[in-house]
């Protein structure tokens, strides 16, 4: 799951070296905290949150495969 998040985010930003993904594991859910360069915020969130929501949808599939719930936060 973390790999998927990193791949998507790094592919969408202008500064992939400034991408940080932190994984916080719980028993039933897992949280991914994504940090990107200030100027890349818009690229990972998108108009009306469209990009972030599409990434969440794909992440949900990966999570279901592992019997978990995944939360993606852009901080």
Partner 1 sequence: MEERRSVEASGNSIEEATEKALAELGASREEVEIQILSQGGRRFLGLGTQEARVRGTLRPPEPQEEVALVAKEVLERLLAGMDIEARVSLRPPDLPEGPNPIVLDITGQNLGILIGRRGETLRALQFITRLIVNRRLHQWAEIVVDVEGYKKRRERSLTQLARRMADRAILLGQAVSLEPMPPHERRIIHLALRDHEKVTTESVGEGDLRKVVIFPRGHTAP
Which CB atom, from 4 or from 31, has the smaller least distance to partner 1?
Answer: 4
Tell me how far, at minimum, the Cβ of 1 lies from partner 1, in Å.
Answer: 8
Q: In terms of CB distance, is 28 or 65 closer to partner 1?
A: 65
CB of 18 to partner 1, least distance (A): 16
Contact 75, 14 (CB under 8 A): no
The answer for residues whose C-beta is within 8 angstroms of residue 5's C-beta and 6 or more apart is 21, 32, 34, 55, 59, 72
Do residues 8 and 46 touch, judged by C-beta distance below 8 A? Answer: no
Residue numbers at the binding site for partner 1 (CB under 8 A) = 1, 3-4, 7-8, 11-12, 50-51, 53-55, 57-58, 60-62, 64-66
SS3 26: coil
CB of 5 to partner 1, least distance (A): 8
């Amino acid at each position: 799951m973390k790999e998927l998040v990193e791949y998507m985010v790094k592919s969408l930003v202008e500064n992939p070296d400034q991408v940080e993904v932190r994984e916080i594991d719980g028993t039933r859910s897992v949280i991914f905290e994504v940090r990107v360069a200030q100027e890349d915020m818009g690229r990972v969130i998108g108009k009306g949150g469209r990009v972030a929501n599409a990434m969440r949808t794909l992440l949900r599939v990966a999570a279901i495969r592992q019997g978990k719930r995944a939360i993606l936060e852009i901080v």
